[in-house]
Amino acid sequence: MNILRDSLVIARRNTIRIRRVPDVMVFVLIQPLMFVVLFAYVFGGSIDIPGSSYREFLMAGIFTQTVVFGATFTGAGLAEDLQKGLINRFRSLPMSPYAVVAGRTASDVIYNVLSIAMMSIAGLAVGWRIRSSVLDALIGYALLLFFSYAFSWVMACIGLAVRTPEVVNNASFMVLFPLTFIANTFVPSDNLPAVFRTIAEWNPVSALTHAARVHFGNIPASAPEPTAWPIQNSTMYTLAWAIGLILVFAPIAARSYQRAGAR
């Protein structure tokens, strides 16, 4: 129970920062809002989605991109704590060695909750609608947040491996940008060249996006059935990836934390 109590203390410390440094939250919310407006109005009339509107197709992709990029707050936050010497202070306290990383990954879910809430309001304003049940919609939101939480453990490993938040942001962008764009986030994967289409079909970002569309009821009735197994089983495939990321990267992050403070 010590790890749970200590993790909650660290999570509370990180959430207090939202109130004390509101500038961070402002930029967290502005970026996804810009994507919603720009993609909805700039590309909305150029990309045809048979049986539906591009704005309904778009929102699940925007949600997915935002929560995946939102996971970088974990890495940047840990790198900043390491740079300022806070990690060494934490290591000197009588607390669980896993609490700092666990508390950081848990608290950063709050950023994504606020981002998704703001994007949902913006989406409704530009014409997006949830056409499923309340339960299905909640499952869709929960799936987005769980995948983001799992991915934050990957970012935690990166943040503990470097010493500056700038390196985390640059390294993350090089990985996350192609990961979120070689997918069905903003255009149907059928429109991609053959090689990129295969990558997109097995990309967990595509599965998460498709699962969100299914749970929000944004798949047109006339849409053809997907042929790729990950898209056919998008919810299960996404959960498998999320659980796998936690099982692999959580122990690595814990060991990296033990070594990081000693550098």
The predicted structure's pLDDT at residue 262: 54
Instruction: Give 40's DSSP letter.
Output: I
Give the model's confidence band at 243: pLDDT under 50 very low, under 70 low, under 90 confident, else very high.
very high
- What percent of the chain stands above pLDDT 70? 92
The two three-digit tokens of residue 137, written as one number: 């919609």
The predicted structure's pLDDT at residue 25: 66
Average confidence (pLDDT) over 40-58: 78
The two three-digit tokens of residue 198, written as one number: 């295969």
The predicted structure's pLDDT at residue 24: 65
256 pLDDT higher than 90 = no
E strand or H helix that includes residue 1: none
Higher pLDDT, residue 169 or 2: 169
Q: Decide if 150 contacts 105 (C-beta within 8 A).
A: no
Neighbours of 106 (CB within 10 A): 18
| Amino acid, single-letter form, for residue 212 | A
The predicted structure's pLDDT at residue 88: 76
Q: How far is CA 156 from the centre of its chain?
A: 13
Mean of per-residue pLDDT scores for the chain: 86
Contacts of 107 by beta carbon, 8 Å cutoff, 6+ apart: 10, 11, 12, 13, 14, 15
The predicted structure's pLDDT at residue 21: 64
d(CA 152, CA 114): 16
Q: Which of 10-24, 39-53, 119-133 bottoms out in mean pLDDT, i.e. has the lowest?
A: 10-24
Higher pLDDT, residue 43 or 144: 144
Residue 140 vs residues 37, 74, 137, 205, 217: alpha-carbon distances, Å: 22, 23, 5, 14, 10
d(CA 211, CA 196): 20
7 pLDDT higher than 90 = no
- The length of the chain in residues reads 263
Q: How far is CA 79 from the centre of its chain?
A: 19
List pLDDT tens digits, range 177-216.
Answer: 889 999 999 888 887 888 999 999 999 999 999 999 999 9
The predicted structure's pLDDT at residue 161: 87
